[in-house]
Structures are given as C-alpha cells and as structure tokens.
Structure 1
Amino acid sequence: MDMSNFPLTHHFDVIIVGSGGAGLSLALSLPEHFNIAVLAKSTLTDASTYYAQGGVAAVLDETDSIEQHIDDTMIAGVHLCEMDAVKQTVEGGKPSVDFLLKHGVQFTLDEQEQLHLTREGGHSQRRIIHAADATGRAISTTLVQRAQEKENITIFENYIAIDLICSQKLGLDGENRALGLYALNEESAQVHTFLAPFTALACGGAMKAYLYTSNPDIATGDGIAMAYRAGCRVANMEFNQFHPTCLYHPQARSFLITEAMRGEGAYLRLPDGERFMLRFDERAELAPRDIVARAIDYEIKRLGIRHVWLDITHKDESFIKEHFPTLYARLLELGIDITKEMIPVVPAAHYTCGGVVVDENSQTDIAGLYAIGETSYTGLHGANRMASNSLLECFVYGMSAAKHIQENFKADQAI
C-alpha cells in the first residue's frame, strides 16, 4: 500500500516517541546524517526524567565494583532480574556518565572537584552521581538543549501517539515490520502519519493508572499498549514499584522526596518519634524500596494514621541546604522548614518494572520497532527496581539501540 500521498504525512529515518532520557539518548547517539523525529506528548521536558531527584547509578569509585552493583541489583529485584541485562546495564555505567558529561550535564562535585557520589536504598556503596537534588532537571534540560541544536532532529511537541503502523496491518507480505505511527496534533486536532524504517517507543510507564503517583500526567502506558496491540510480548506488568516517600500535603500534588535524603542519613519515624524501620530490615531506611514502602504501609494501617515522618533535622542546617536545595525551597513554600521540622510522607506509585519485551539492542518482537526506558522490559529490574538504575538503563539501551539502528540502516529503505 502506497501511503506517501496521505495528507499530513511526514517521512523520517527514525521516529522516537518520547522526549525523556531514553528518547533523547537515542536521538543524540545516532549519526547526524539520520533524519530524526522526536514526538513529545506534552512539552519536551514533561517527562519522568525531568522529575527525577536522585541520580544515575554507576561504578566510579575504586572501593566499588561491577560485581557489587550487580549483586545489589539482583537482591533488590528479588533475584527475578535477568543476569545478562543486569550485567550489560551495570557495565554501561561509565560510558553513560561519559555520554552525559560530553553533552554538558553539570553534576555536583566534591571538595576534590570529582563527581560527588551519594548512596540510596539497596546500594552497598556510594555510586549515585547527581546534580544536587534535581538531577533529572539537569539531565532533561541539557539533553533537550542539545537536541534542539541538531539540524537533523525535528521536534513535535503536543503530539499524542495513537497507534503503530505495521506491515501486517496493511496486508503486506513478509515479516511483520514497523513502518511508523499515527499521532494526534493536540493543537490542530488533526491526525498525522509519521513513516520511517525505524520507530522507537520511549514514552515512559503506566503509573498514572494509580490515584496517588509521583509520575507526570503523560505516564499513561501508551507505548506499552501500542506495542501490545501490534503483537509484541509484554512481561512483568504485575511488578509496579511504589516510592516510599512522597510528600503528604493537601497543597502538594504527588511531590517526591528523594531517596538520597535517606542515603544522607534521614530517619523514618512514627508520630511518637520511634524509628520503626529497624524492626523490618537490618538495613533500616536504606533497605530496597519495596521493603520500605511495605513497612510504611503496614504502620499506617496498624496505627490508623495518614502518614509517617521523614526526619533529617539532626543534620547540620548548612548540610541540608547544600545537599537538598530544591527540596528545602519547595517545602519552605509549603510551610515546612526541613532543617527544623519533620516531613510527612506516604508511599506512591512510582515505576513500571515490566513493559515491552526487548533484547540487548532494545529491539522488540517486531522488526524496526524499539522500546527504551520505562516502556521496555529489559530484564534489569526484576520484581523491584533499585534506586537510580532507571536513568542508567535509559542511557545504556538508548545507545545500544542507536548502534543497532546504524548497523541495520539501508539508504534505500525510506518509506
């Protein structure tokens, strides 16, 4: 079927749905002779990456090791992680950091002007690079700026991907292959046709299915649904991670309190001041997220309370302001001075551990179709994602998809 004369049709080499860390790492890793479209459901920075406070997990310190990071990931995922995916991701830590530094992301440095490493739940070592407590914002704004500078990348904001175009749907012979997709231009209310030999779904997870979530409104599982309808396998959709510490406040809509705060010594307390996590796990506040979230939920139900408290008031005021400037300022706006007062917190839906099944190149079951980031199931997370492994996965698999597309691109395959 010839679709070249359809109205509102766009032709590209690669179509990327999503403008977060996964989609932009793919776009920026492809050679500049590729003609690339990036579709954003809302604005370019309205993606889960932008809201990430913690950081990127990577083995950078001499006291750390690839083996330790692998072991920590397997334990956090209740040993339901796939070892090949864990190994590929962890070994991609240093190249991912190099990728981000090359593009100009400004991370927090220590007194020796080296990357400052913090620690989060489930990690046995300090291995989280960060930009204060707003790492996602630093990464997102920087990568968006780099993408806007590229003449080979065309950006479409406020375009909602509707459905994939595949050869089998069109009645074409041969293997089923992705040919592009339909997308709704929200401003004009018109459906556009995007055609390309390669399509990548990097549009996040499905945590807006829950009433209480840390995710932005765009996280409605569109990519997973489109791939499933087209015939792709999905896996582990029952494993949905709840972040233990979201702010409980009537004027704050699902505001996340970074895990790095517990990594830097904050305690979880009951209304009477008891530190309760020691009763649930020897790692206390630094146990993996599933354990901490379940413990908080148990105590809330046991006591009939609305929330528990996160307390960092025992730390020096200057330390708190230096390490958590964004949180300090935002909570002060809400009347909470975290240098003197505890923070009311509850668990909230945070991350889709399952997704579209992909291989080591982010390739799905359909030729020419890739899934990256939270849309995908690489096998990395198992039953529970370890803190700051998600951004790392975006960059590792974004780069692997770029390499695979480049190796399989043929100049005469334009649609």
Structure 2
Amino acid sequence: MTTVATPAAPSPAVPERLGSGTVRLATRLAAPEPGWTVEADAVVVGSGIAGLTAALELRTRVPRVLLVTKDRLYSGSTVWAQGGIAAALDPDDSPAAHLQDTLVAGAGLCDPRAVEVLVTEGPARVRELVARGAVFDRAPDGQISLTREGGHHADRIAHAGGDATGAEISRALVAQIEAVRDDPGIEVIEHALVLDVLTGPVGPDGRPGAACGVTLHVIGEGSRDGVGAALGRAVVLATGGIGQVFRSSTNPAQATGDGIAAALRAGATLADVEFVQFHPTVLWLGAGVKGQLTLVSEAVRGEGARLLDTDGVRFMPDVHPMAELAPRDVVAHAIVRRMAATGSDHVWLDARHLGADFLRRRFPTIHDRLAEHGIDLTTDLVPVAPAQHYHSGGVLTDLVGRTSLPGLYAVGETACTGVHGANRLASNSLLEGLVFAHRAARDIAAKVAGGELPVLEPVGRSGERALVAAASRSRVQRLASAGPGVLRDGEGLRRAAAGLAQVPTDAHLRHDAGHPLADPQVAEWETTNVHQVATVLTAAALEREESRGGHARSDFPAPDDAWRLRLELTLDQDGTLRSRRAPVE
C-alpha cells in the first residue's frame, strides 16, 4: 500500500492565462483588523465528517486544538448525506474491486495512489466510526447491511436509518466532541466564518509564507465577538463545497466555497475545479425555486427505481449498460438531453413497483420530505432534474492532506486529493473525508512533535482587498448556472466570464449618497467567496476543451487524451490567476 507522498506542489510548466483573457482576483477580503487572538497547535475549520474526525484525532495527539464551525457543530453537508458510505466490508468484495470502480467513474483523472489509500484504509476507518458510536443498519445476521449505488459493481454502501447516514455519522462524532468540551486541550467556536488564511514571512520567491492561522468573524452567538485571529502551527480546512455558487443545489446555505477561496487567496494551489457533479435526481419544484433542494438519493435507484421521460418511456438502458446505475455524470447528462428532446423541464423517477412497505422502511427521510410537497413516493411518479451536488476539485493536497502552502492542510470536499478525478463515485465522499482526515491529523501530530511546524507571526500580504455586495449574489449564481452548468459550451462560458468580470468587487470603496455600497459583513464576505469560486470555475471550464466526467462541453463533446491532465490554478503575487497542466498517472 502507498504510504506518504511529498507535499503537493505546482507542476513545472509555463504559467498560462486562463480562458479568454487575464483573470485578476484579490488576495484578501476587506475586513476589520482582528480585535482578539486565540492560539492553538492546530486550527480545524469545519464540522462535517472531515473536520470532526480531524479534531478528534488531533485532540489526543497535540496539546491544544481549536475547532471552528460556521454554524453549530451539528450542521454542514455531512448531515444531508442520504445514501451512505462506501467501503469493501463484504468478504466477497475487495479493495481492488472498489479501486477499479472508482477509477472508471473518475474517467481517467484519478490519482491511483490516492484511490489505493482510500479503498485500503476505508474499511478500518468505517469500523472505527462504529467504535465511536455510529449505528449503521444491520442485516439479519448482525453484519452491517450493504447496498449498491451507481458505478459500483458490488454491494458496499453502508447506511444508517435507511437514508439518514450522514445525520447518524454527525450525531456520533458531535457526541464525541461534546464529551470532551471541558477538556482544556480543545476549544470549539461555533457561528464563526473564516475570512482569510494568515501567512508568515514571504519566501525568497516572493510568494506568501507558511500558513500560521486564520482570521474569523464570530456570528452573533459565538463565544467571542467580531473579527479575531486564530493562530496555529497548522490549519486544516474542512469547509465543505461550493453549492451556493449555483442557483440551485442540494448543499446547505453554508456551502459558499469559503475554504477554497481563502486557500487560493493565501497562495495555495487548486486543482480539478472544473469538475462539478450534478446529482441526477433532485426534486423538481418549478423553474423559480432557489436554494437548497431536496435530494432523492441514488440509493433509490440502487434498489431498483427507474427513470422515465415525460412520455413515460424508460431511457437509461439505451444510454449505458448499467442503466439507472451508470455513473452520475452519465445519468445527469442523459436526463438533460432527454429533457431537451421532449421539451420538458424534468423527468420522472418511478419507485412504485418496489412496494409501499419497503419504501417507507428503507427511505423514511425521503418519503417524509416528499410528502411535505404533496408527493407520495409509494404511489406517485416523482419529478426530478439534475442540480449541483458535489465538487470533485478543490485545494490540491498530497496523500496526508498537505497543500502546496506549508502548514495548510485540506480535507473533505474542500480538498482535491485525486480520489475523484473527473467524477466522484457514489458514496466515496464520506469515506474520503474520514480516511484523509485521519492521515492529516497524524501528519500534523508528527510534525508538531518533531518541531517541523514552528510558531510563526503572521505578516500582511500584498495585493488588493475585495468585497462583493450581497445584492450581487443572485447575479453571480445566474452566471454560474448558465455558464459552467450541467452542459457547457465556449460561448456560454465566455459570456459567464465576462459577466463575472463586471461584478464590482470593491463595494466597500464605492459610495452612493455618501454611504458605502456595502460594509464588510457576513453576507458580503460569503458573496465575495462565491464570486471568486465562480470566476475560477468558469475560467478552468473554458480552458478544458473536451468533455470528461463532470465537465461536459457541447462544443467539445468527446474526451481527448491530450487533456488527460490536471489543471492546477494559483494566484500570482499581484492576483493574476495562472494555470499549469500537470500529467496524471
């Protein structure tokens, strides 16, 4: 099994401008100077499966840990995970088979070393979750009950509460944190939005120094007021995904790309940002609906539900040998094309033949959420359409979570470990957060013990400050949904890029009737992150002239071996966005 790789670093190549012109982004948010300071050996940002696991592992390995979360501990994307967590737990299954399914779904862009780590260490990590108190559904023989989802050729999806796996995992991990709240070695700050990664003295190449903490704003009910600085030998970003970049998403409202944007501004490298997974079966409630939408888990199709067009025709068997259980990008693209062919804005999910008793027992959460909208899963066809669900890219890391910026780690959906490639295999995300959070925590502990992560004083970074008015959020989301949406093309991406470039990013400096257009506050900081992520995503999608996995371009409809590479993105010292093309094993 592969062990530890060297820290991630941009591949040597000639930096190029992205898209159709130069993209410039600010390297800092416009915000007040910190009014208070807290210190720790490690600062963990986020309370999903990755952040909670990292904090729990670090608590027993370093003297002091600070866990920061944007809402309450029991929040974030993990809570909403319905389907389950994938691992080769069945004696008839194997890590090698799980690896193969992951590589196929990743469409040639997975890092095989990272996938090997995931599938080999995954079963042990899931058993540790059970030891931490997570209660998974059991088969009659007492073993963990396993089911199948799209792209898997074996039953290897462990689930809890039928379709409430993420909620159960969060409950168990939060309970572990709550049990040690009074431990002087750990502090939890809730309702805290991380603004920027703090960095140490500039290196000889002029780039920012090592990460040494974060600035954060405590929102209302936190234990500290206003903007402060959390200093640490290491920073772990586990801030989740980018769902609110789009008009509609299955992600919670907190998913505004905060960690990815902060890492980019600090000088870290991003990768695979163009690969966005749109879940095929999200409840369709009309064209005007925005915000977090109701997901109808892939596990429903795993149990035998079928997709029908609005004429009642089942179409997936003609698209892929695995029919409704094809990889998610295949199903989502097929649905969009079928909608276009039939002039419809949705398709139907038909689970009626599975039986009312089974559906209520296996999918109680989905059944109840659909019932809130007057839809009975047991007797009705369910209107569904693709919506943004998961981001396969993020902050580039090595096999222990280290980014290209010393002292900065990323885990979970915030990270690009190379596991997912161009398209995440169903239920690999919870496992990735679990496995790589363990690895990151252990690497940090070893480096703290070895004196390799010194205490640094933060220094100011050069470059502009940005603030985008909250009123611009819907404009940014509309541009992102129309440009780098489910199906893309060069013309649409160029329009989106031009539109995003016209969004004012200096709202704190512009005045109307003597007053600033916007003041530095939570909604504006989040909108600035959304704008920066949308800008980078659009630029990367415009540069990749092929279709692969979660990146589908109608003007370049086929995969191209010349593009079997990873786009790595960084900001120059002046904020110019650069790309490097890195080969993939």
Correspondence for 1:274? 313
Determine if the alignment matches structure 1 residue 400 to structure 2 residue 428. Answer: no
Correspondence for 2:404? 365
Correspondence for 1:387? 426
Q: Measure the CA separation in 2 of the matches of 1:125 and 1:411.
A: 43
Letter in 2 for 1:19: S
Cα distance per residue 1:334-375 (max 9 Å; x no partner): 211111111110100111111111111101112211000111
Q: 1:19 aligns with which of 47, 57, 60?
A: 47
The DSSP-based 3-state class of the residue aligned with 2:249 is coil
Give, in angstroms, the shift of residue 331 of structure 1: 1.4
Letter in 1 for 2:432: E
Q: Measure the CA separation in 1 of the matches of 2:203 and 2:392.
A: 32
Correspondence for 1:133? 163
Q: How does 1:326-341 map to 2 (within 5 A)?
A: 326-341=365-380
Cα distance per residue 1:118-162 (max 9 Å; x no partner): 100000000000101010111112211211211233111111100
Q: How does 1:175-254 map to 2 (within 5 A)?
A: 176-187=209-220, 190-249=226-285, 253-254=292-293
Q: Measure the CA separation in 1 of the matches of 2:350 and 2:168.
A: 26
CA contact (8 A) 2:310 2:342 kept: no
Larger Cα Rg: Structure 1 or Structure 2? Answer: 2
Letter in 2 for 1:286: L
CA contact (8 A) 2:44 2:66 kept: yes
CA contact (8 A) 1:18 1:204 kept: yes
Q: Measure the CA separation in 2 of the matches of 1:81 and 1:231.
A: 24
Cα separation, partners in 2 of 1:338 and 1:414, compared to 1, 3 Å: same
Q: Measure the CA separation in 2 of the matches of 1:169 and 1:341.
A: 61
Q: Measure the CA separation in 1 of the matches of 2:89 and 2:449.
A: 38
Correspondence for 2:520? none
Q: Measure the CA separation in 2 of the matches of 1:34 and 1:388.
A: 34
Q: Please tell me the root mean square deviation across aligned C-alpha atoms, in Å.
A: 2.0
Cα distance per residue 1:36-81 (max 9 Å; x no partner): 1111112222211110001110001122111111110011010110
Q: Measure the CA separation in 2 of the matches of 1:148 and 1:120.
A: 33
Higher mean C-alpha displacement, 140-149 vs 286-295: 140-149
CA contact (8 A) 1:81 1:382 kept: yes
Letter in 2 for 1:168: P
Correspondence for 2:394? 355
Cα distance per residue 1:151-203 (max 9 Å; x no partner): 233111111100011113699x9992111010011217610110110110000
Give, in angstroms, the shift of residue 391 of structure 1: 0.5
The DSSP-based 3-state class of the residue aligned with 1:257 is coil
Q: Measure the CA separation in 2 of the matches of 1:408 and 1:207.
A: 34
Cα separation, partners in 2 of 1:70 and 1:63, compared to 1, 3 Å: same
Q: Measure the CA separation in 2 of the matches of 1:264 and 1:174.
A: 52
The DSSP-based 3-state class of the residue aligned with 1:319 is helix
Correspondence for 2:66? 37
Give, in angstroms, the shift of residue 35 of structure 1: 1.3
Determine if the alignment matches structure 1 residue 297 to structure 2 residue 344. Answer: no
Cα distance per residue 1:220-242 (max 9 Å; x no partner): 11111111111111111111110
CA contact (8 A) 2:264 2:270 kept: yes
The DSSP-based 3-state class of the residue aligned with 1:196 is strand
Letter in 2 for 1:17: V
Give, in angstroms, the shift of residue 205 of structure 1: 1.6
The DSSP-based 3-state class of the residue aligned with 1:13 is strand
Determine if the alignment matches structure 1 residue 142 to structure 2 residue 172. Answer: yes
Cα distance per residue 1:313-333 (max 9 Å; x no partner): 001221111110111122122
Higher mean C-alpha displacement, 84-93 vs 188-197: 188-197
Q: Measure the CA separation in 1 of the matches of 2:228 and 2:331.
A: 45
Q: Measure the CA separation in 2 of the matches of 1:357 and 1:246.
A: 29
Correspondence for 1:54? 83
Cα separation, partners in 2 of 1:35 and 1:308, compared to 1, 3 Å: same
Unaligned runs of 5+ in 2: 1-33, 457-585
CA contact (8 A) 1:14 1:34 kept: no
Letter in 1 for 2:178: Q
Correspondence for 2:487? none
TM-score by length of structure 1 reads 0.95
Determine if the alignment matches structure 1 residue 124 to structure 2 residue 160. Answer: no
CA contact (8 A) 1:147 1:153 kept: no
Correspondence for 2:186? 153
Give, in angstroms, the shift of residue 271 of structure 1: 2.0
Determine if the alignment matches structure 1 residue 111 to structure 2 residue 140. Answer: yes
Higher mean C-alpha displacement, 177-186 vs 25-34: 25-34
Q: Measure the CA separation in 2 of the matches of 1:170 and 1:145.
A: 42
TM-score by length of structure 2 reads 0.68
Q: Measure the CA separation in 2 of the matches of 1:45 and 1:344.
A: 30
Q: 2:326 aligns with which of 280, 287, 292?
A: 287
Q: Measure the CA separation in 1 of the matches of 2:63 and 2:79.
A: 26
CA contact (8 A) 1:108 1:115 kept: yes
Cα separation, partners in 2 of 1:358 and 1:411, compared to 1, 3 Å: closer
Letter in 1 for 2:143: Q
Correspondence for 1:3? none
Alignment identity in percent? Answer: 42
Correspondence for 2:8? none
Q: Measure the CA separation in 1 of the matches of 2:81 and 2:207.
A: 42
Give, in angstroms, the shift of residue 8 of structure 1: 1.1
Q: 1:165 aligns with which of 180, 198, 210?
A: 198
Q: Measure the CA separation in 2 of the matches of 1:325 and 1:78.
A: 34
Q: How does 1:34-113 map to 2 (within 5 A)?
A: 34-113=63-142
Q: 1:9 aligns with which of 8, 28, 37?
A: 37
CA contact (8 A) 1:15 1:198 kept: yes
Determine if the alignment matches structure 1 residue 258 to structure 2 residue 297. Answer: yes
Give, in angstroms, the shift of residue 21 of structure 1: 0.5
CA contact (8 A) 2:294 2:369 kept: no
Q: Measure the CA separation in 1 of the matches of 2:167 and 2:209.
A: 38
